[in-house]
Amino acid sequence: MAEKQYVKIFARFERFWHWTQALLVIVLLVTGARLHGLIGGFDWKAAFGVHLVAAGLIVLLWIFAIFWHFTTGEWVQYVPTFRNLVAVIRYYAYGIFLGEKHPAKPTVRRKHNPLQRLSYLFLKLIINPAIWITGILYLTIGSNGLPLDWVAWAHLVAAYAMAVFVVIHVYMATTGETVLSYLKAMITGYEWVVVEPEKKPGKR
Amino acid sequence: MRFRWLKTVGIGGRTLPCILAAFVVIGGAAVHAQEKSPPTADHTKFESLKGPFTSGPEVTRACLACHTEAAKQVMSSIHWKWDYTHPVTGETLGKRNVINAFCGNVASNEPRCTSCHAGYGWEDESFDFSDETRVDCLVCHDTTGDYVKFDVKAGHPLYEPLTRKGGHVYPDSLKQKSGGMTTYLPPDLAKVSQAVGEPGRANCGACHFYGGGGDGVKHGDLDSSLVSPPVEVDVHMSPDGADLTCTDCHTAHGHQWPGSRYLGTVRDDNRGKPGFRRRDVASCQSCHTSTPHSTASIEGLKLNDHTDRVACQTCHIPEFARGGVATKTWWDWSTAGKLKDGKPYAEEDEHGHHSYLSKKGHFVWEENVVPDYAFWNGVVDYSLLGEKIDPSGVVPVNKIYGSAEDPGSRIYPFKRMRGKQAYDRDNNNLVLTNVFGPETDTAFWTNFDWDKSISAAMAKTDVPYSGNYDFVETEMWWPTTHMVAPAKSALSCGDCHARDGRLSGLSGFYLPGRDLFKTTDRIGLSILVLSLVGILGHSSVRIVMSRRRKRT
């Protein structure tokens, strides 16, 4: 087995994408809650304006990210696998308490464990599209002829899914070797990972 | 010369209007009414108008000598007939027939009420509605401001000086005060008739601003402040705004005017011929279209999304009675008739408005009133004389039709007039009252006896009166459409998109920001809370276990 090395696993764009997205999602959730009437505290019209600008930016960001994933081939990071999945689930449900080692060792070609792959894929293929498709339908409600309450409801459900994802994602980010190690990696881009030999890409 | 000071700095004559015009164009803020075409007749040159005239009908006769069809046109209008058959409900409406929440009814009170009839001499039910000389041309076409239909003369102006204690609406130039008494001088009918022109705001306002017995009493969105309002009060009628007159929107066609409150034009998606102003309707859309906000911005597009269900007035008339004139919002007739030392008396509120009059009961006056909102499809249904009412609740003097489910309805602002009115306890219907009549022994304002008053008024109808009366709480809906504020003063999103906003009382539709999806929100928030609880549990176990490991 190759030695662990402190190498860059998150490219500059990836980190920019992640943190901008994080900020925009928070802004969208807060302004969305205001628009929906769950919270008060600031002007509805201002909330609408900010929500709209943030939504526009995040859609733009997603378009860039999709482009980036295809051009760099990094999309393969999200191909689902069931290998080791049970072990990972068992780890989070039990092993983590005993101080066991994480069953999935991150490598440069395999940055995410099987559970991450599945949840991120769900985010990218289900939650994100649902939220922006329903959002665009909501914005264009005057011309698409759909019933307002249906579209509003669908957008709300997608928003709750996003909110739940954010909460769990933030907590999971504290489950590294130390509480802050994943966070540090997402900021600096560097992490201690196994670097596979160049010539044996197939052997995992 | 009004701009003499400008002359001294070398600006004036033709330059000044040009500069002003340039400001208007560059500023883009004010769109002025098109200057009216100069008339082809100078009425001072007509022999027939030299006078002297001793009565209104004499003037009318002179008018009709040239304007041969004018009286016929007026006589087919609601201004003359006070009679209207509603095309949807089939009800017979019009001032002659309806009961309202103010002075109640015309029948038996004619000389007072008919001071605003577009005619002369409607003293009682014997009035000849076919006599062309009884049409009053001057009240609409006077441009001097001197012509006033005296308020108790059945539509006539004064023909001789009249000395009274005061209190009548009259131009200052024709009033003389001495020793606590006021002498009202008659207008010079010849002078008035030679200065006729198209009606201005003051002409229409002479009646429509004073409905219900005084300035601003009835409508709330029509009062004397609109004769020359600041832009903030009314962008259309302000001399500093568009300076429109009533008939710029209520476009006359043969002395008929669109803009009925019995059958309102609430939704107007019709398009006229390109380049032509529609003249059949007094709707905002006839000038502003159904997409009045800029389509170059998302804000404008989103605002335009509202116009299918929200009337322009709802956002653009944030409050009514904004011109410094209060409107009556509560009129309780049941307390009328109290006397002090055998004499009628008055009480005033902190703003100097009558809060009690022995003649009329208790009032509440309000300024800057936030309207009531309701879906309206334009149809108004009246509780007519003889219609059964339910006195256990608030009796609707009129009802407005419309709902969220009806695509022809839009959310519309209203003044909801409330109060207490007389009804027949045995027959369960509203009753007419005879209130005016200084020389009669039945008029309430003279004798303070309800039974006599009701009996006398009901005798004018074929609806029986049991003799057993009481008072019931009533409400009446008045559509609000004037006093359009500048765009910056329009309502903002959050005024309605809020839990307890202006539309909190409306139902049957989803309003973002007001309505939650109760079940979905409960489930969604529960999942979020459960996630947090799970995280709390998971992290607690992690902390406890790692401490334990460190100890061993």
Tokens representing B349 are 């509120």
- What is the number of domains present in chain B? 3
Q: Looking at B491, B518, B538, which one is the last position of a domain?
A: B491
Choose the closest CB to A37 out of B305, B516, B520.
B516
Same domain, B259 and B324: yes
Choose the closest CB to B527 out of A44, A148, A160.
A160
Q: Are strands B372-376 and B410-424 parallel, antiparallel or unpaired?
A: antiparallel
Same domain, B365 and B445: yes
Closest alpha carbon within chain A to B499: A37
Tell me the residue range of the domain where A69 lies: 4-194
Residue B331: predicted pLDDT? 98
Residue B428: predicted pLDDT? 96
The answer to whether A94 faces chain B, any CB pair under 8 Å, is no
Choose the closest CB to A160 out of B498, B524, B535.
B524
Q: Tokens 């996630």 label which residue?
A: B531
CATH of the domain at A161: 1.20.950.20
Residue A167: list chain B partners with CB under 8 A: 528, 531-532, 535
Q: How confident is the model over B340-356, as pLDDT tens digits? A: 999 999 999 999 999 99
For the cut 50, the answer to whether the pLDDT of residue B20 exceeds it is no
Tell me the residue range of the domain where B419 lies: 84-102+232-491
For B217-226, what is the mean pLDDT? 97
The answer to whether position B519 is within a domain reads no
Q: Are B388 and B425 in contact (CB under 8 A)?
A: no
For the cut 90, the answer to whether the pLDDT of residue B97 exceeds it is yes
Same domain, B301 and B419: yes
Residues in chain B: 552
Of A114-123, B75-84, B363-372, B391-400, the poorest mean pLDDT is in: A114-123
Q: Are B181 and B164 in contact (CB under 8 A)?
A: yes
pTM for this model (two decimals):
0.89
Question: Which residues of chain B are at the A interface, by a Cβ-Cβ cutoff of 8 Å?
Answer: 298, 301-302, 304-305, 308, 492-494, 497-499, 509-510, 512-517, 520-521, 523-525, 527-528, 531-532, 535, 538-539, 541-542, 545-546, 549
Same domain, B379 and B437: yes
Q: How confident is the model over A1-35, as pLDDT tens digits? A: 456 788 888 889 999 999 999 999 999 999 999 99
| Cβ within 8 Å, pair B493-A44 | yes
Residue A136: predicted pLDDT? 96
Rounded to a whole number of angstroms, the distance from the CA of B385 to the nearest CA of chain A is: 43
Tokens representing B432 are 């007419």
Same domain, B171 and B237: no
- What is the number of domains present in chain A? 1
Same domain, B127 and B176: yes
For B270-295, what is the mean pLDDT? 84
Mean pLDDT value across chain B: 91
Give the pLDDT means over successive 10-residue stretches in chain A (204 positions): 75 93 97 96 96 96 94 88 87 89 80 88 94 96 93 97 96 90 90 67 44
Q: Which residues of B142-167 are buried (b: 16+ CB within 10 A; e: fewer)?
A: bbbbbbbbbbbbbbbbbeeebeeeee
Query: Greater confidence, B443 or A104?
Result: B443
Q: How confident is the model over B312-339, as pLDDT tens digits? A: 999 999 999 999 999 999 999 999 999 9
Residue B33: predicted pLDDT? 52
Task: Of A48, A58, A145, A31, give the one whose Cα is nearest residue B298.
Answer: A48
Q: Looking at B440, B468, B491, which one is the last position of a domain?
A: B491
Task: Give me the interface pTM, i.e. the ipTM.
Answer: 0.90
Closest alpha carbon within chain B to A153: B517
* Structure confidence at residue B453 as a pLDDT band (50, 70, 90): very high
For the cut 90, the answer to whether the pLDDT of residue B34 exceeds it is no
For the cut 90, the answer to whether the pLDDT of residue B275 exceeds it is no
| Cβ within 8 Å, pair A142-B493 | no
* Structure confidence at residue B55 as a pLDDT band (50, 70, 90): very high
Same domain, B390 and B477: yes
Tokens representing B107 are 């029948």
The answer to whether position A94 is within a domain reads yes
Same domain, B178 and B320: no
Residue of A29, A42, A48 to mutate, testing the B interface (most B Cβ within 10 Å of its Cβ): A48
- Tell me which H or E stretch contains B329: strand B327-332
The answer to whether position A203 is within a domain reads no
End-to-end, the C-alpha distance of chain B in Å comes to 104
Task: Of B255, B192, B247, B201, give the one whose Cα is nearest residue B43.
Answer: B192
Tokens representing B525 are 């928030």
